[in-house]
């Protein structure tokens, strides 16, 4: 699992940085100026068996999430529980209840998910890494970095072929961006209104803006579909529904599909009008990516509940499919599992405590986790889960940020698999994997975000 690279020369670093900039692999920094997204100088080794398994289970997870999102009683039971301890989830849940149509069928829903994995090194039995794949979480809303990840894969591929330091055949192609764009176009076509637009729901101060702009541009060049971008608060004023049919209109344009790149974190709703905007969108007959129900399926608590004995079987008939999914679960525990909590208090280094939040920086480790567990009131338990700590195999790489390359450092990598599913009721019209994101971070870093500057973009070099 170890690739050995030499420190790249200043000339090679400059070449890589120039190409990253030229390809549009960009992010905004805090001062309204721009830099390339951080990336590794070279691809990192990744076991082929684990990569293939992660691709294969994507369609199983899609099926599972679709079914759970359709099961009102199950969704309501789990989410009601979380809502009792977490006001943000409570608001999402209330919006879901408020907008469930009593008198008409639900419009189709589009899932653009990213399931993230770390390898539990100690679980790789006799060199079989497919047993070591552990899901960190599944993102069911605003799965980011498809467009930038496709660019990094092309960059690594080019540098490998050009300089001959790696066999470019072992670098898998990564059509994440075109896959996501085609998925949006597919849902748009399903709506069936040639003049309708796609609405991107965005954050006002998005730093990962180019990841979205590339998709927007490709929707136009490849499919002739126009995109309109608005924040939730803007929508409460500029959007409306037709009285008879719930068609969604923004400034006289009909919206076929609402694609959320916001709406997953409390700060997206600082303004009370943002909740009004969300409810308006959900109530409309536009296709949502995702629906509120799908979003609620991505909570950490849902992940923990789905991992409990017998739960997968409630949604999937195929035993082998359940087995495949279950083999990707890390240990997941509720906080009223006293034995698990005691184990975490005794050995905090083997666990992580997670709240119902998305977007990084919320998890508690080590002594922070211990203190929080010891002090937590029982009424808050449903707002958190306890998870087995995953220790991936160590690799090494050079991290390039703001044009500067680090010395060689020990690293670990987290693989994300993008997937799409389009459903009409419980029928899956389309269901496939789209591409990948490999994020690599210093071995000592706990969090995994790129925008938060913990990790950098990477690409896998598949090894047997």
**Positions in the binding site for ligand ADP (CB under 6 A):** 116, 118, 136-137, 330, 352, 354, 358-360, 362-363, 387-390, 414, 447-448
Phi, psi dihedral angles at 448 (to 5 degrees):
-125, 5
Residue closer to ligand ADP (CB basis): 58 or 198: 58
CB of 126 to ligand ADP, least distance (A): 23
State the DSSP code for 106.
Answer: P
Q: How far is the CB of 179 from ligand ADP (least distance, A)?
A: 21
CB 297 within 8 A of CB 423: no
Q: How many CB atoms lie within 10 A of CB 18?
A: 12
Tokens of 412: 């670990």
- Closer CB to ligand ADP, 88 or 188, in the complex: 88
Closer Cβ to ligand ADP, 161 or 454, answer by number: 454
Rounded CA separation 322/427 (Å): 19
CA–chain centroid gap for 60, Å, is: 16
Measured from the CB atom, the residue of 191 and 264 that comes closer to ligand ADP is 264
Residue 198 or 353 having the CB closest to ligand ADP: 353
Of 236, 241, 263, 248, which is closest to residue 199 (Cα–Cα)? 248
Nearest approach, Cβ of residue 443 and ligand ADP (Å): 11
Query: Strand pairing of 399-401 and 39-40?
Result: antiparallel
Helix, strand, coil tally for the chain in percent (to 5): 45, 25, 30
CA dihedral 285, 287, 289, 291 (to 10 degrees): 40
Q: How far is Cα 107 from Cα 246, in angstroms, rounded to an integer?
A: 11
**CA count, 13 A, side-chain hemisphere, 383:** 19
Nearer to ligand ADP, 107 or 359 (CB): 359
Q: Could you tell me the smallest distance in angstroms from the CB atom of residue 113 to ligand ADP?
A: 13
Rounded to a whole number of angstroms, the minimum distance from the CB of residue 360 to ligand ADP is 4
Q: Which of 439, 418, 27, 437 shows the shortest CA–CA distance to 208?
A: 27
Give me the residue whose beta carbon is nearest to ligand ADP.
Answer: 448
Nearer to ligand ADP, 58 or 196 (CB): 58
Whose Cβ is closer to ligand ADP: residue 8's or residue 111's?
111
CB 337 → ligand ADP: shortest distance, Å?
Answer: 16
Closest separation in Å from C-beta 300 to ligand ADP: 7
Please state, in angstroms and rounded to a whole number, the distance separating the CA atoms of residues 147 and 150: 5
Minimum CB separation from ligand ADP for residue 390, in Å?
Answer: 4
- 258: Cβ contacts below 8 Å, ≥ 6 apart: 198, 199, 201, 248, 281, 284, 286, 287, 288, 289
């Amino acid at each position: 699992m170890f690739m050995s690279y030499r420190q790249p020369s200043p000339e090679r670093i400059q070449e890589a940085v120039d190409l990253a900039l030229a390809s549009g692999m960009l992010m905004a920094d805090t001062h309204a100026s721009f830099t390339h997204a951080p990336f590794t100088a070279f691809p990192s080794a990744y076991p082929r068996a684990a990569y293939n398994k992660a691709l294969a289970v994507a369609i199983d997870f899609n099926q599972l999430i679709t079914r759970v999102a359709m099961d009102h009683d199950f969704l309501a039971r789990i989410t009601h529980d979380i809502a009792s301890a977490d006001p943000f989830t409570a608001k999402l849940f209330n919006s879901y209840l408020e907008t469930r149509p009593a008198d008409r069928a639900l419009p189709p829903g589009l899932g653009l998910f990213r399931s993230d994995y770390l390898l539990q090194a100690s679980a790789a039995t006799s060199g079989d890494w497919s047993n070591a794949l552990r899901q960190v979480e599944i993102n069911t809303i605003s799965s980011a970095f498809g467009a930038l990840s496709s660019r990094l894969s092309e960059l690594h591929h080019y540098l490998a072929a050009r300089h001959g330091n790696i066999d470019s055949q072992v670098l898998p192609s990564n059509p994440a961006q075109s896959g996501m764009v085609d998925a949006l176009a597919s849902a748009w076509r399903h709506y069936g209104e040639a003049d309708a637009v796609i609405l991107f729901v965005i954050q006002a101060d998005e730093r990962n803006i180019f990841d979205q702009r590339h998709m927007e541009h490709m929707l136009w060049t490849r499919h002739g579909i126009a995109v309109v971008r608005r924040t939730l608060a803007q929508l409460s004023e500029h959007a409306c529904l037709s009285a008879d049919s719930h068609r969604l209109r923004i400034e006289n344009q009909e919206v076929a599909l609402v694609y959320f790149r916001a709406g997953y974190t409390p700060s997206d709703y600082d303004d009370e009008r943002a909740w009004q905007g969300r409810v308006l969108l959900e109530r409309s007959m536009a296709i949502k990516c995702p629906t509120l129900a799908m979003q609620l399926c991505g909570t950490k608590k849902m992940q923990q509940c789905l991992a409990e004995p017998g739960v997968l079987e409630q949604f999937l008939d195929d035993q082998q499919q359940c087995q495949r999914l279950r083999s990707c679960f890390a240990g997941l525990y509720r906080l009223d599992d006293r034995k698990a909590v005691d184990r975490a208090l005794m050995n905090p280094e083997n666990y992580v405590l997670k709240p119902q939040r998305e977007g990084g920086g919320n998890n508690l480790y080590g002594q922070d986790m211990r203190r929080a567990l010891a002090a937590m009131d029982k009424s808050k338990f449903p707002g958190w889960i306890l998870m087995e700590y995953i220790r991936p195999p160590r690799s090494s790489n050079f991290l390039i940020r703001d044009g500067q390359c680090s010395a060689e450092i020990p690293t670990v990598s987290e693989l994300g698999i993008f997937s799409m599913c389009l459903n009409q009721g419980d029928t899956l019209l389309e269901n496939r994997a789209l591409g990948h994101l490999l994020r690599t971070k210093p071995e000592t870093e706990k969090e995994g975000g790129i925008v938060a500057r913990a990790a950098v973009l990477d690409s896998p070099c598949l090894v047997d």
